[in-house]
Structure 1
Amino acid sequence: MSGHIMQVRVEPELSDSEADAGGSPKTLSKWKDNAYDRVYENAERFLERNEFEKVILSLRKIPEDYPYIADVYSLMGLSYAMLDRFEDALTHFKKAAGIMPEEWSHWINMVGAHLELGDIVEAMKCVDRLNEMEIPLEMQAGMDEVRENVNRFFDDKLAAKPYLDFDKCLELESRLDAGIAHIKERDWERAIREFEYIISVDEKSEAAYDNIGLIHLFRGEFDEAGRCFRKALEIYPEHPIATMNLALLETLQEILPDDFAYSEYREYLEGVEEKLIGAYFRS
C-alpha cells in the first residue's frame, strides 16, 4: 500500500442524519445493546491484526440496519485502502463524511484516497475543507503532513510538465477528472472532447491519449485504440495503464476475427467494458 492513507478514525457516534431521515427507531444506543456492537469490536481487532478482508466481511451488513454510523464506513474504507482498493475506500470515506461532514478524520482519509487515485484536484478541495475545521492539537502534525503530501504531489506534477504553469496544470487536472467521469457514465463524446482539449494544450499528456484509446477500444475501433495507446507509451514508456490496455487490445485482436462486426461482438466487448469502467484511468 502506498503511503498517502493515514489510519485516522474516531469512536462510533450517531450523527444528526438520524433525525433528518425521519426519526428512524434504530439509534446508536440500541445498536450498542445488540450483537452488532460485538461485531464492531471484532472488526476493530481484525484491523489491529491487519486482517482487512475480515473487517469488511464482518461490517458489511451493519449499514443495512444502521446506515447512520459513520465510523462503520470509515473502518471499511480504511480496510479497503490497506488492500489497495482505493476506489472502494473512497466510496466508503465519502459515505462517512456525508453522515458526519463536521468530522475532520473523514476528510483526511479522503485526501489520502484521492492522492492514491491521482486526483489532486479533489484532494485539494478536501484540504480546503479541512482548513475550515477545528483540528485537535494532537493531530496538527498529522494535518501538516497531509498538506505536505498534497503539495509534494502537485510539485511532482509541475516538475513533470515544466512548460505548464500552476493554474494551467490545475485546469488540465480538472478536465481530466471531467473526462474520466464521462467515461464512467459511458458518455464517450463528452469524454473525448475533454481529453482532446487537454491534448490541444499539452500534447505530451499520456493520460489523455490513453483514455481516448480506451474509448476507441470500447467502441470496437481497434486501430485507433492501438494508435492512442502507443502514443501514450511513446510519451511515457513505463505507463502501467497504457501498457495493460495495449496488452488487452492485442489479446482481443488475437481472439476476434479480422473482419469482426462490432454488432456481432457487442455483448463481449461490453463485458470487457464493464470490467474496466471504474478502473484506474490516470497516469
Structure 2
Amino acid sequence: MNKIEQQIAQIKEELAESPNDGELLNELGIGYHMLGDYDEAIDYYQQALNQRPKAVKIHFNLANTFYEKKDIEKAINHYLNALDIKPDYVPALNNLADIYELANEDEKAQELFEHITEINPDDPMGYFNLGNHHLRNNDSLEAGRCYKKAIELDPEFHEAYNNIGFLLKHLEQYEEAISYFEQCLEIEPNYEPAKKDLEACKKVLKNS
C-alpha cells in the first residue's frame, strides 16, 4: 500500500467516527484525485459540498477534477461557484483563465489574467502568468513588460529573466538575451531552458 492509500485508509477510519465531516470528505476527494480515481474523488467532493456548500476550496478541488476528466462545462461551473463565494480567489481565477485560453476565448482569458494583477498588485506570479498569456499570443512587447514587472517585484524570479531572454533570442537580440539568461542562471544555476538557450545564442554570435 503506498503512502496516499495509507492516508486514505486513515481518513476513512476517522470518517467512520464523523461521517458528516466535510473537511474529511474533502481530504478523501484529494486523495482519490491524486490516485487518478477521478470518479471516486468527485463523489467525495460532492458529499463534502452537501455538508459545506460554501466551501471555496471544495468547489475549486471539484472543478480541478472535472477539468482532469475533460468535463469543461462542469469545471467552469465550479470555478464560478468558488468565485461567487470568494471573488478574489486567485487559483480559481487563474485556472478559469487557462480554460478560456484553451477554448480560444483570448479576450476573456486576458481579462481574468489582468484582473489577478489588479487584485494582487504585489504578487509577481500574476504578472508572470499575464506575460505568458501575451507570449502565447505573440505579443512580445506586452509579455516583456509583464516579465519586467515580475522581476521588479521579485528580483530572484529566475523564470522571468529566462522568458525575457527567450523573447530577445527570437528577436535576434542575442547579446541582450545572453545577459538575461546569465542572470537567470546566477539565481538558478541548473535551470535547463536558460542553459540551452544561452549556448544557442553564444553559438550564433560566434558564427556570425
Q: TM-score, normalised by structure 1?
A: 0.38
- 8 Å CA contact 1:63, 1:69 repeated in 2: yes
After TM superposition, the structure 1 = structure 2 runs for residues 86-125 of structure 1, keeping only pairs within 5 Å, are 86-125=140-179
Q: Which has the higher helix share?
A: 2
Residue of structure 2 in register with 1:58 after alignment: 112
The 1-side partners of 2:175 and 2:165 are apart by 10
Residue number in structure 2 paired with 1:133: 187
Tell me the residue number matched to 1:34: 86
Equivalent-residue separation in structure 2 for 1:54 and 1:117 (angstroms): 28
Contact 2:181 2:194 in 1 (8 A): no
What number of residue pairs does the alignment pair up? Answer: 123
Show CA shifts across 1:23-69 (max 9, x none).
Answer: xxxxxxxxxx9323221221233455565443312121232332111
1:126 CA displacement: 0.8
Alpha-carbon distance in structure 1 between the residues aligned to 2:134 and 2:110:
8
Name the counterpart of 1:150: 201
Shift of 1:102: 0.7
**Residues 87 and 117 of structure 1 are in contact (CA less than 8 Å); yes or no, is this contact kept in structure 2?**
no
Aligned residue number for residue 73 of structure 1 = 127
- What SS does the corresponding residue of 1:79 show, helix, strand or coil? helix
SS state at 1:63 partner:
helix
What residue in structure 1 maps to residue 99 of structure 2?
45
Q: CA deviation at 1:77?
A: 1.0
Shift of 1:155: 4.1
Contact 1:46–1:55 (CA under 8 A) maintained in structure 2: yes
- Superposed displacement of residue 108, structure 1: 0.8
Secondary structure in 1 aligned to 2:183? helix
Cα distance in 1 for residues equivalent to 2:136 and 2:159: 17
Structure 1 gaps of 5+ residues are 1-32, 159-283
Displacement of 1:116 in angstroms is 2.6
Flag the 1:52–1:112 CA change in 2: closer, same or farther, 3 A.
farther
Q: Identity of counterpart residues, as a percentage?
A: 19
Say if 1:113 and 1:50 are closer, same or farther in 2 by CA, change over 3 A.
farther
User: How big is the alpha-carbon RMSD for the aligned residues of Structure 1 and Structure 2?
Assistant: 2.6
Q: Distance in 2 between matches of 1:127 and 1:81?
A: 17
Report if aligned partners of 1:52, 1:80 keep a CA contact under 8 Å in 2: no
1:46 and 1:148 mapped to 2: Cα distance? 36
Partner amino acid, structure 1, of 2:172: G
Amino acid at match of 2:93: V
Q: TM-score of the superposition, structure 2-length normalised?
A: 0.50
Gaps of 5+ in 2: 1-84
Residue 113 of structure 1 aligns to which amino acid in structure 2?
L
